[in-house]
Amino acid sequence: MITRILPQLFRHIFSRAATNLFPAAHMPPSLTDALSDPDSPPNPTVPVGKRFRGRLNYDRSKCIGCKLCVRVCPAHATDYLAEEKKIIIHNDRCCFCAQCTEVCPVKCLSMSSQFMISSYDRKANIVTGA
Ligand code: SF4
Ligand code: SF4
């Protein structure tokens, strides 16, 4: 495991940050007014970098059920379904570290560019890949 993690660690230390600055250009003059006005338009989406880490994509059909993603996840965001030999991902627990995408031997996990994922429904943030 350590031989797989160390090269990733060094790659991340010496690569450029993949985060955006907050889009201050689209900040409304009054945040209080904007929040109390239901017709207030949302900010336009901002472009994200190639290495942006958004909501996880899971290709269930390619998954071989090896559980490496479950073992490596620091946030316990993945659950293993023993009967099906597949996983589900709780995006509301995910810290977007991308360790699972690096360790997956068949590359069925990937980070998307989707970042508007807040929801009142917890189940809306469970990724089943189905
Ligand atoms: S990106 Fe990180 S926190 Fe999220 S499921 Fe994968 S290993 Fe866990
Ligand atoms: S590491 Fe990849 S193949 Fe293994 S259980 Fe996780 S998603 Fe499936």
- pLDDT, one tens digit per residue, over 6-38 is 888 888 888 876 666 666 666 777 878 877 877
Could you state, in order of their start, the residue ranges of all structural domains in the chain? 56-116
Residue 123 or 42, more confident: 123
- What letter does residue 60 receive in the DSSP assignment? G
Task: Tell me how far apart the alpha carbons of residues 10 and 35 are, in angstroms, rounded to a whole number.
Answer: 42
- CATH 3.30.70.20 holds for 56-116: yes
Whether the CB of 67 sits within 6 Å of ligand 2: yes
From the CA of 72, give the closest atom in ligand 1: 7
pLDDT digits (tens, 9 = 90+) for 84-93: 999 999 999 9
Question: 115: CA distance to ligand 2 center in Å?
Answer: 23
